[in-house]
Amino acid sequence: MQTTVFPATREPKPHIKVLRAVASLELIKGVAAVASILGIVFLVHKDPGDVADWCLTVLHISPDHHFAQIFLDWADSLTDKKLWVVAGVAAVYSILRFVEAYGLWRARAWAEWIALVSAALYLPFEVIKLIHKPDLLYGGLLILNLAVIVYMAYVLWETRTAKARADSRGSPTRGLVS
């Protein structure tokens, strides 16, 4: 089994298992985005109102309910152009998740930064959602996201201090980029 190392020190990277767990989570997000794209493309050239009505029927939800009516009204407002825009955004999102997953799996510093920043971007939305609707699921997602943020910051700090220690000792591998 290959051991991932700090390029500046050639020491095994101690965080590889957690980084790979986060990479797996990012891979799952990317796969979910691809599944969403397929679902969106399925709706192109179809009447979204009919598809929404079918979904409500399958789920045994009466169209007379308030939220069912909101869902049907929203579906009626969809156009093929809007669907393609959403599919494009989802494609960019999935590519970012796959690239991040690859980088984290290979313990690349740039991927650790992407993970830190992208997780931090979700925080305000998660806090607002939790304030408006306190729920165990939203609380768990917030805690998971905070754990990723704190851990990525810790890994980046450890990498930086290890590199600084190696540079101060005059390491012959100075200048390599992870």
Give the per-residue pLDDT at 172: 55
Q: Could you tell me the residue ranges of all domains in the chain?
A: 11-107, 109-168
Report the predicted TM-score, pTM, of the whole model to 2 decimal places. 0.71
Supply the pLDDT for residue 162: 81
Q: Which residues pair with 97 in a beta bridge?
A: none
Out of 5-14, 17-26, 63-72, 160-169, least confident range: 5-14
How is residue 178 written in tokens? 């992870």
Q: How far is CA 168 from the centre of its chain?
A: 36
Segment 139-149 mean pLDDT: 93
**Arithmetic mean of pLDDT, 98-113:** 94
- Coil, strand or helix at 64: coil
Residue 2 pLDDT: 53
Q: Convert the pLDDT of each residue in 42-86 to its tens digit.
A: 888 888 888 888 888 988 888 888 888 998 888 888 888 988 999
CB-CB contact of 40 with 86 (8 Å): yes
Q: What is the mean pLDDT of residues 7-30?
A: 79
Above 70 in pLDDT, residue 8?
A: no
Report, as an integer, the average pLDDT of 141-164: 90
- 127's enclosing H/E stretch is helix 109-132
Who wins on pLDDT, 3 or 77? Answer: 77
**Helix locations, the chain, DSSP H:** 16-43, 48-58, 66-77, 80-105, 109-132, 136-168
Whether 38 and 116 have beta carbons less than 8 Å apart is answered as no
Judge whether 88 and 37 are in contact, CB under 8 Å.
Answer: no
Write down the mean pLDDT value for the chain: 86
pLDDT at 170 over 80: no
Point out which residues pair with 5 in neighbouring strands: 12
